[in-house]
Amino acid sequence: MRLQESGEMYLESIYVLGQRSGNVRSIDISEYMGYSKPSVSRAVSLLKNAGYITMDEDNYLHLTDTGFEIAHKIYQRHTVLSALLERIGVSRETAAEDACRMEHAISDETFEAIQRFVETLTEKI
């Protein structure tokens, strides 16, 4: 089953927040993404039921192996695409916004080609 873009965004947010502080609760996601608590609660419930995250007894969220794999992939795409867009002259803010939209839509093949291209650019500097 293919996860919808919104689900990928939630997983990526949990990943990023987890990297920053180690502990992630629904309220953290709500504040980070700017979504209402009920919206986040519903999404968390769907992601738990689908096996992408777990919640411990202290209500901290944890990515499962599958959730981590997806979140890391999306975050990597975001990072590479943002860097590429900035390198070609796009402002940091616009690059981040555009990368967020692009990261969910491009194929693995296209992303891998972009990633190789960015690595080639970096080697030349």
**What is the per-residue pLDDT for 22?**
85
**Regions in the chain scoring below 70 on pLDDT:** 1-2, 124-125
Q: Report whether 11 contacts 46 (CB < 8 A).
A: no
Q: What is the pLDDT of residues 50-75, one digit of tens each?
A: 999 999 999 999 999 999 999 999 99
Which pLDDT score is estimated for 125? 59
Q: What residue type is assigned to position 48 of the chain?
A: K
pLDDT at 68: 96
- Tokens for 17? 């927040």
Smallest CA-to-CA distance from 81 within 66, 70, 92 is with 92
What pLDDT sits at residue 62? 96
- Quote the percentage of the chain above a pLDDT of 90: 78
Residue 79's pLDDT is what?
92
Q: What residue ranges in the chain does DSSP mark as E strands? A: 53-55, 61-63
Q: 53: helix, coil or strand?
A: strand
Domains and CATH numbers, the chain: 5-66 (1.10.10.10), 70-124 (1.10.60.10)
pTM summary value = 0.85
